[in-house]
């Protein structure tokens, strides 16, 4: 009991000191400003951090007036949300600083009911805007999201996939309304293919690329066997023509597809997944889309025979999609336009968004 009390006092002291420090943040020399009046920050967790981080990366001063209670709530909650107040020189919380001209964002502008367009409104999006999926939050936090990558290197005409394939965690999606194939089942399917390969690390990957034995392969970098540092993700993806998009834990969307598209690696993606990305991905324009496992068989019989001309055309479209829709600048531009036009803005809330599906 005494130990717990001491820990609580120590945390309180650390929080007080951190709050006094953040109150000293001052605006940077820019006329671009966003003022945040949102109380539902815990509803959106990581995606709220990403929303404000995108404004910061787009060159805005981010004003988020808050008292000590809200500061503590943010600082000691979910780890990605806490980055809002743990990052250096991010937020301006002191109310004595107020810009003359600014974009204002409020709770009423946003909804976590992200998938209602798909399930209830025939995927019509004329009057709404879906803030798209993004890289993993740490990529922005550590400033590695825009590392320069050589996009003109010769690529392997193979399908690459990386990530966690934990059987327990990634079967949760089967208990939702989505009909996407869970990543564990996709892995099982590809394991039965003749050209499947499970990579043991970057050294093996680059040796196989050098010797020319990585062509027409289904190459998986499974987290348990292949440690891929976050700073190397985009560079590794850029060695391949195609990326197999596996769904997340409880929804199709996962940050891996965005990381692949950022380097022009063409998504091989299931139809439902492609249709909850906004704007929707289009088959043979900026993605290769399959309906189900049966359809995947026929796709795989053809994908490696797509001409180099068509590959280059699709790669260009993928990169253009990323620039137009997925960079911090483009996302902020679309959000501001939506605010101006009084459109409802859907912001991901992961598990909470899925619970809205009726």
Digit-coded pLDDT (tens) for 16-75: 999 999 999 999 999 999 999 999 999 999 999 999 999 999 999 999 999 999 999 999
Please state whether the peptide bond connecting residue 279 to the residue before it is cis, i.e. omega within 30 degrees of 0: yes
120 to each of 125, 180, 273, 309, how far by Cα in Å? 11, 18, 16, 39
Residue 138 within a domain: no
Residue 287 per-residue DSSP state: B
- What CATH number does the domain containing 309 carry? 3.40.50.2000
301-315 b/e (C-beta count within 10 Å ≥ 16 → b)? eebeebeeeebeebb
Query: How many domains does the chain contain in total?
Result: 2
Residue 345 · residue 129 · CB < 8 Å: yes
* Residues 18, 15: Cα–Cα separation, whole Å: 5
pTM beyond cutoff 0.85? yes
Residue 253 has pLDDT above 80, yes or no: yes
- Per-residue confidence (pLDDT) for residue 9, from 0 to 100: 81
Q: Is residue 293 part of a domain?
A: yes
Can you tell me the mean pLDDT for 207-213? 92
pLDDT at 113: 97
Say whether pLDDT at 169 is over 80: no
Residue 192 CA, distance from chain mean position: 30
Query: Domain for residue 337, yes or no?
Result: no
* Lowest-confidence pick of 117-121, 139-143, 189-193, 221-225: 221-225
Is residue 260 domain-shared with residue 162, that is, in the same domain? yes
* Residues 120, 81 share a domain: yes
Give yes or no: residues 299 and 164 share one domain.
yes
Domain assignment present for residue 339? The answer is no
d(CA 132, CA 306): 29
| 163/236 same-domain check | yes
Higher confidence at residue 47 or residue 8? 47
Task: Give tens-digit pLDDT for 265-303.
Answer: 999 999 999 999 999 999 999 999 999 999 999 999 999
Q: Tell me: do 273 and 183 sit in the same domain.
A: yes
End-to-end CA distance of the chain: 45
Starting at the earlier edge strand, list the strands of the sheet with 344-346. Answer: 110-111, 344-346, 128-130
Question: What stretches of the chain show up as alpha helix (H) in DSSP?
Answer: 2-22, 41-44, 46-57, 68-75, 83-86, 116-120, 137-141, 183-191, 202-211, 233-237, 255-261, 271-275, 293-303, 308-325, 328-340, 351-355
Residue 234 or residue 2, greater confidence = 234
pLDDT value of position 144: 96
Whether residue 228 contacts residue 249, with contact meaning beta carbons closer than 8 Å, is answered with no
In a domain, 314, yes or no: yes
pLDDT for res 8: 83
144 in a structural domain: no
Question: Which domain range does residue 31 map to?
Answer: 2-132+345-355
Q: Do 160 and 128 sit in the same domain of this protein?
A: no
Answer whether residue 150 is part of any domain: no
What's the pLDDT score for residue 5? 81
pLDDT at 117 exceeding the cut of 90: yes
pLDDT of 168 over the 90 cut: no
Provide the edge-to-edge strand list for the sheet that holds 196-198: 196-198, 218-222, 156-163, 240-244, 266-270, 288-290
Shared domain check, 174 and 102: no
**Same-domain status, 121 and 160:** no
The reply to whether 177 and 317 lie within a common domain is yes
Q: Residue 4: which pLDDT band, with cuts at 50, 70 and 90?
A: confident
Is residue 78 situated within a structural domain? yes
Q: Are strands 218-222 and 196-198 parallel, antiparallel or unpaired?
A: parallel
- Whether 1 shows a pLDDT value over 80: the answer reads no
Residue in 348, 335, 330 with CA at minimum distance from that of residue 58: 330
Taking the C-alpha atoms of residue 276 and residue 278, their distance in angstroms, rounded to an integer, is: 6
Give the chain's mean pLDDT: 95
Cα 202–228–310 angle (5° rounding)? 75
On whether both 115 and 24 belong to a single domain, the answer is: yes
Whether 242 and 197 map to the same domain: the answer is: yes
pLDDT on residue 158:
98
Q: Are residues 223 and 309 in the same domain?
A: yes
Inform me whether the pLDDT recorded for 85 exceeds 90. Answer: yes
pLDDT tier for residue 13 given thresholds of 50, 70 and 90: very high
Quote the pLDDT of residue 56.
Answer: 98
């Amino acid at each position: 009991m005494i130990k717990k009390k001491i820990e609580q006092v120590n945390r309180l002291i650390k929080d007080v000191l951190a709050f006094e420090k953040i109150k000293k943040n001052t605006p940077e020399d820019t006329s671009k400003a966003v003022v945040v009046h949102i109380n539902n920050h815990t509803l959106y967790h990581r995606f709220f951090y990403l929303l404000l981080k995108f404004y910061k990366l787009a060159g805005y001063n981010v004003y988020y007036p808050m008292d000590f209670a809200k500061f503590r709530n943010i600082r000691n909650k979910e780890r990605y949300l806490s980055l809002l107040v743990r990052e250096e020189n991010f937020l301006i919380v002191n109310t004595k600083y107020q810009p003359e001209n600014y974009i204002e964002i409020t709770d009423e502008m946003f909804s976590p009911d992200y998938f209602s367009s798909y399930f209830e409104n025939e995927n019509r999006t004329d009057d709404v805007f879906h803030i798209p999926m993004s890289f993993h939050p740490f990529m922005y936090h550590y400033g590695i999201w825009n590392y320069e990558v050589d996009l003109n290197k010769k690529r392997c005409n193979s399908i690459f996939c990386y990530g966690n394939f934990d059987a327990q965690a990634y079967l949760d999606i089967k208990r939702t309304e989505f009909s996407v194939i869970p990543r564990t089942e996709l892995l099982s399917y590809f394991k039965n293919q003749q050209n499947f390969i499970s990579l043991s690390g970057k050294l093996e990957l680059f040796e196989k690329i050098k010797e020319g034995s990585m062509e027409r392969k289904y190459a998986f970098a499974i987290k348990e066997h292949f440690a891929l540092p976050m700073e190397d993700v985009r560079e590794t993806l850029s060695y391949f023509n195609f990326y197999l998009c596996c769904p997340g834990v409880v929804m199709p969307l996962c940050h891996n597809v965005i990381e692949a598209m950022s380097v022009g690696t063409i998504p091989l993606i299931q139809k439902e997944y492609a249709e909850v990305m906004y704007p929707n991905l289009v088959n043979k324009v900026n993605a290769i889309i399959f309906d189900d496992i049966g359809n995947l068989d026929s796709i795989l019989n053809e994908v490696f025979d797509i001409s180099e001309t068509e590959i280059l055309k699709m790669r260009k479209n993928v990169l253009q999609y990323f620039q137009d829709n997925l960079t911090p600048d483009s996302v902020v531009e679309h959000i501001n336009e939506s605010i101006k036009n009084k459109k409802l803005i859907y912001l991901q809330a992961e598990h909470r968004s899925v619970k809205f599906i009726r």
